[in-house]
Structures are given as C-alpha cells and as structure tokens.
Amino acid sequence: MIQIFCLLFFVTVFADAATQRKIPSYEKYIKTYSDLAIQHQKKYKIPASITLAQGVLESGAGQSDLARRSNNHFGIKCHSDWRGGRVYHDDDLRGECFRKYKRVEDSYEDHSKFLKRSRYESLFRLKITDYKGWARGLQKCGYATDRAYANKLIKVIEDYELYRYDTGKVHNLTRKEKKNLKFPTVRYTIYRTYGLLYVYAKENDSFDQIAQNLDFPVKDLKKFNEVPEDFPLQRGDIVYLEKKKKKADKPNYDHVVQIGESMHSISQKYGIQIKSLYKINKKDKDYVPEEGDVLKLR
C-alpha cells in the first residue's frame, strides 16, 4: 500500500527551509560563536541552539549599538545584584541600564549563569534537544516582553539549522554512511485526516527511521513535510506521507497563533503547504507569527 503511494505522490516541491534566504551577518555570527555555545551547553546544560538564536536576535548578530559598546550579546539589564560595568540604552524605557562586559565571552558566561536563576528552573527539566520548549519557556518566564519572542527564536533555529549543534550533528553523512544506517523495526499506524495520509513520530524518531520502516523514500518524506536535512522530530509530530494541500479543509478557516508556533508547525497542523500559508495571508518569508495573530487557512 505504501509503495503505491510513493509512486502516486512523488513531487518536485522543494522544502521551504532549503530555499530560505540566508542573512550573511547571521551566518558569520553563528560560525564565530557556535563552538562557544556548544561549550556552554556541555557546562550549563543550555541548548546551544537557544544560546546562538538569542545571541543573534538580542545583539543583531553582534552589530547592534548595545553589543558594540558593551559586548552585551543577550540584552541583559543591570538588575539590583549587578556589580560590573554599565551602559545606558533606550529599550522599553529611555536610558535603561545594561550590563557591560570586557569580552563577548564574558557576556556568554553571564548569560548562562543568568539562566540558572530560579525563575528559569523549569527549563532545565526539558530535553536538551527540545528547543521549542526552551523558546516557549523563555517567553513565558519573562526573558523578553516581545509576544513573538519564542516564535522568532524558533524561526532562527530552523532557518539556520541550529538544532544540529544540540545533537552534535554538524556535518552531513555521506551516502555510504546513510546506506549503512540500521534502525530498529518500529510499527507505525497510518492515519488519514483532511484527506491526507500521515503517521505520528515516536520518541527519538527521525525521518530516516520512518522512511526505512515504511519502505518509503526519505527524500520524498522530507519534501512532503517541507524540512531540511536532519530536521529533528519530537514525539507526536505529524509526518505526512503525501503532498500537503494549498488550503485547509472546511471548517478550518483561521488559526490563532500560540506561543512557540512557527509557520511550519501551523502548516503541519492543518496539512497546508508553507508557501500557500504565506500567500493566503499575504506575508513574506521574513514574517514571524506573533502570539494572538489570526492567520487565514483558506
């Protein structure tokens, strides 16, 4: 049955993430500080992807006025317990006090220690690869006032494949290595909703494992789900076995954005192609959904 669907639904649609426009300053920043973020993951148990994404956003990839003047890459304000250097910068209010560091490395160290406060304690109960949970948690715990903060972090992590730093997968396997991969036999139940066939990802699952167990071309599976190489799956994620639709089925007319949702996760929820979701809502590829936004689905 699955083999028939492989033939029927072969597509040439490229993954949205694969064609995402890359910002050179972001790529340079990630290359410069990825090793440092990985070191801090090992030492403090904070996902490297989260550290890098926060650094990119909070410092404007190291180019913001605050970052240049104070080496502050994470927008951490002085607070009453701060005894180090200070600079004053307009943020939510005029002339707010921000921490000043001698080196960027000191900013990274202070950021990791800052997240060890009791306020963020719940985050350390999450799996190190759960960048979505960390992003949602940071927003809920009040790290930033921006209602799209978690979604912005997730977009940067997914656009630049920063999740690979959390697992150590920073290089692509060769064809020979992939061919030699052996996964345990797993039984998947195939469902149909909105007229689409799909399975639910299991604990520690991957597209390669699903493809091998269902005798399904992994290349097609990734195209159908519009994901790049090594995209991580979490338990319960929907994995489509055929091309998604251009609009949602009735009665799904719109969707209210929640904390931690990306255009990709919303498209997966309703079985819509990402490019169609952008088009229906007249949004460009730089748009980040904000908590409370209402998106049209058809």
Which H helix or E strand runs over 239?
strand 238-240
What domains are defined for the chain? Answer: 2-20+170-240 (no CATH), 24-159 (1.10.530.10), 254-296 (3.10.350.10)
Between 96-105, 135-144, 167-176, 216-225, the lowest mean confidence (pLDDT) is in 167-176
What b-and-e string marks burial along 108-138, b requiring 16 or more CB atoms within 10 Å of the CB? bbbbbeebeeeebeebeebebbbbbbbbbbb
Kindly report, residue by residue over 196-209, the tens digit of the pLDDT. Answer: 999 999 998 999 99
Q: Which long-range contacts (CB under 8 A, 24 or more apart) does 189-193 make?
A: 190/2, 190/241, 193/271
Instruction: Flag whether pLDDT at 3 surpasses 50.
Output: no
Q: Are 33 and 55 in contact (CB under 8 A)?
A: yes
Q: Are 110 and 118 in contact (CB under 8 A)?
A: no
Measured CA to CA, the distance from residue 266 to residue 258 in angstroms comes to: 10
Which residue's entry shows tokens 């969707």? Answer: 255
Q: Are 33 and 280 in contact (CB under 8 A)?
A: no
Mean pLDDT of 22-31: 94
Between 86-95, 245-254, 263-272, 288-297, the lowest mean confidence (pLDDT) is in 86-95
Q: So what's the pLDDT on residue 134?
A: 97
Average pLDDT for the chain: 88
Mean pLDDT of 135-142: 95
Q: So what's the pLDDT on residue 211?
A: 92
Kindly report, residue by residue over 62-73, the tens digit of the pLDDT. Answer: 999 999 999 999
- Per DSSP, 103 falls in state S
Kindly report, residue by residue over 33-54, the tens digit of the pLDDT. Answer: 999 999 999 999 999 999 999 9
Q: So what's the pLDDT on residue 171?
A: 58
Instruction: Give residue 22's pLDDT band: very low, low, confident or very high (50, 70, 90).
Output: confident
Task: Name residue 199's beta-bridge partners.
Answer: 239
Amino acid type, 217: P
Q: So what's the pLDDT on residue 91?
A: 73
Mean pLDDT of 177-206: 86
Mean pLDDT of 186-193: 93
Q: So what's the pLDDT on residue 230?
A: 82
Q: So what's the pLDDT on residue 270?
A: 96
Q: Are 38 and 53 in contact (CB under 8 A)?
A: no
Report the predicted TM-score, pTM, of the whole model to 2 decimal places. Answer: 0.84
Instruction: Flag whether pLDDT at 183 surpasses 80.
Output: no
Measured CA to CA, the distance from residue 169 to residue 97 in angstroms comes to: 39
Write a three-state SS string for 49-101.
HHHHHHHHHHHCCCCCHHHHHHCCCCCCECCCCCCCEEEEECCCCCCEEEEEC
Mean pLDDT of 67-88: 90
Q: So what's the pLDDT on residue 173?
A: 58
Instruction: Give residue 9's pLDDT band: very low, low, confident or very high (50, 70, 90).
Output: very low
Instruction: Flag whether pLDDT at 14 surpasses 80.
Output: no
Residue 194 burial (C-beta neighbours within 10 Å; 0-12, 13-18, 19+): middle
Instruction: Give residue 8's pLDDT band: very low, low, confident or very high (50, 70, 90).
Output: very low
